[in-house]
Structure 1
Amino acid sequence: MREKKREQYDVVVIGGGPAGLTAAIYCGRAHLSTLLIEKSLIGGLATYTNEIENYPGFPEGTTGLGLMELFHKQAKKFGVRFKLTDVKSVALEGETKEVETFRTTYEAKTVIIASGGRPRVTKAKNEEKYLFDKGISFCATCDAAANTDKTVMVIGSGDAAIEEGTFLSKFAKEVIVSVIHDEGKMDCNEIARDAALANPKMTFIWNTVVESFEGDGHLSRVNLKNLKTGEIIPVDVDNCFEFIGYEPNTEIFVDKVSMSQRQYIITNEHMETGIPGVFACGDVREKELKQVATAVGDGAIAGVGAEKYIAETEMFENQLMQKEKVGLIYVYSAIDAPSRELLPMMQEIETAFNGQVKLNVIDQYKGKSLCERLGCDVEPMTVFYTKAGEVVETSTRCDKKSVAEALNKLVETPVEVAL
Structure 2
Amino acid sequence: MSDILDVVIVGGGAGGMSAGVYCARGKMSTVILEASAKTGGQAAKTNELENYPGIDQATGPDIMGAFRKHCERFGVEFQRGTVSGIKVEDNGFIKQVTTKEGEVLRARTVIVATGAQPRILGIKGEREFTSKGVSYCATCDADFFEELDIVVVGSGNTAVEESVFLTKFVNSIKMIVLHDEGVLDADRTAQEQAFANDKIDFVWNSTVEEICGEELVNGVKVKNLKTGEISEIECDGVFMFVGTVPNTDFLEGTVELAKGGYIKVDDQMATNVPGVFGAGDVNDKFLRQVVTAAADGAIAAVAAERYMQEEENWQERVLEAEGDVAVMFWNPLDKDGIALMPELEAFCKEKELPLVTVDTYKSQNISGRYNVEDIPTVVRFSKGQEVKRVVRPTAEELQQLA
Once residues 240 and 53 of structure 1 are traced to their aligned partners in structure 2, the CA distance between those partners, rounded to angstroms, is 25
Task: Report the counterpart of residue 116 of structure 2 in structure 1.
Answer: 117
1:106 and 2:133 are equivalent in the alignment: no
Contact 2:177 2:204 (C-alpha < 8 Å) held by counterparts: no
Pick from 54, 57, 60: which aligns with 2:54?
57
Cα gap change, 1:233/1:166 in structure 2, threshold over 3 Å: closer, same or farther? Answer: farther
Task: Report the counterpart of residue 44 of structure 1 in structure 2.
Answer: 41
Cα gap change, 1:392/1:64 in structure 2, threshold over 3 Å: closer, same or farther? Answer: same
Q: For the aligned residues, what is the CA RMSD?
A: 3.3
Matching residue's letter, 2:193: F
1:255 and 2:223 are equivalent in the alignment: no
Task: Report the counterpart of residue 223 of structure 1 in structure 2.
Answer: 219
- Quote how far apart the aligned CAs of 1:319 are: 2.7
Pick from 338, 357, 360: which aligns with 2:356?
360
- Quote how far apart the aligned CAs of 1:400 are: 1.9
- Quote how far apart the aligned CAs of 1:147 are: 6.4
Task: Report the counterpart of residue 389 of structure 2 in structure 1.
Answer: 394
Pick from 323, 339, 342: which aligns with 2:340?
342
1:382 and 2:401 are equivalent in the alignment: no
Task: Report the counterpart of residue 3 of structure 1 in structure 2.
Answer: none
- Quote how far apart the aligned CAs of 1:97 are: 1.2
3-state SS of paired residue (2:44): helix
Contact 2:257 2:263 (C-alpha < 8 Å) held by counterparts: yes
- Quote how far apart the aligned CAs of 1:35 are: 1.0
Matching residue's letter, 1:373: R
3-state SS of paired residue (2:192): coil
- Quote how far apart the aligned CAs of 1:284 are: 0.9
Contact 2:174 2:202 (C-alpha < 8 Å) held by counterparts: no
Matching residue's letter, 2:158: C
Cα gap change, 1:317/1:175 in structure 2, threshold over 3 Å: closer, same or farther? Answer: same
1:79 and 2:101 are equivalent in the alignment: no
Contact 1:151 1:172 (C-alpha < 8 Å) held by counterparts: no
- Quote how far apart the aligned CAs of 1:325 are: 3.7
Task: Report the counterpart of residue 234 of structure 1 in structure 2.
Answer: 234
Matching residue's letter, 2:386: V
What's the TM-score, normalizing by structure 1? Answer: 0.78
Contact 1:248 1:263 (C-alpha < 8 Å) held by counterparts: yes
Moved more, 86-95 or 326-335: 86-95
- Quote how far apart the aligned CAs of 1:405 are: 2.5
Task: Report the counterpart of residue 175 of structure 2 in structure 1.
Answer: 154
Task: Report the counterpart of residue 171 of structure 1 in structure 2.
Answer: 193
Contact 2:160 2:194 (C-alpha < 8 Å) held by counterparts: no
Matching residue's letter, 2:334: D
3-state SS of paired residue (1:23): helix
- Quote how far apart the aligned CAs of 1:95 are: 2.1
3-state SS of paired residue (1:339): helix
Once residues 230 and 177 of structure 2 are traced to their aligned partners in structure 1, the CA distance between those partners, rounded to angstroms, is 19
Matching residue's letter, 1:22: S
Once residues 201 and 261 of structure 2 are traced to their aligned partners in structure 1, the CA distance between those partners, rounded to angstroms, is 36
- Quote how far apart the aligned CAs of 1:397 are: 4.6
- Quote how far apart the aligned CAs of 1:167 are: 5.2
Once residues 224 and 204 of structure 1 are traced to their aligned partners in structure 2, the CA distance between those partners, rounded to angstroms, is 15
Task: Report the counterpart of residue 399 of structure 2 in structure 1.
Answer: 404
Deviations 1:354-385 (A, max 9, x none): xx211122333333333223331211111111
Moved more, 123-132 or 38-47: 123-132
Contact 1:152 1:175 (C-alpha < 8 Å) held by counterparts: no
Deviations 1:90-121 (A, max 9, x none): 22463221111214111111111111111114
Task: Report the counterpart of residue 32 of structure 1 in structure 2.
Answer: 28
Cα gap change, 1:68/1:204 in structure 2, threshold over 3 Å: closer, same or farther? Answer: same
- Quote how far apart the aligned CAs of 1:257 are: 1.1
3-state SS of paired residue (1:162): coil
Task: Report the counterpart of residue 195 of structure 1 in structure 2.
Answer: none
Once residues 265 and 79 of structure 2 are traced to their aligned partners in structure 1, the CA distance between those partners, rounded to angstroms, is 26
- Quote how far apart the aligned CAs of 1:318 are: 1.8
- Quote how far apart the aligned CAs of 1:248 are: 0.9
3-state SS of paired residue (1:68): helix
3-state SS of paired residue (1:90): strand
Once residues 110 and 289 of structure 2 are traced to their aligned partners in structure 1, the CA distance between those partners, rounded to angstroms, is 22
Once residues 82 and 143 of structure 1 are traced to their aligned partners in structure 2, the CA distance between those partners, rounded to angstroms, is 30
Once residues 142 and 15 of structure 1 are traced to their aligned partners in structure 2, the CA distance between those partners, rounded to angstroms, is 25
Task: Report the counterpart of residue 272 of structure 1 in structure 2.
Answer: 270
Count of matched residue positions in the alignment of Structure 1 and Structure 2: 367
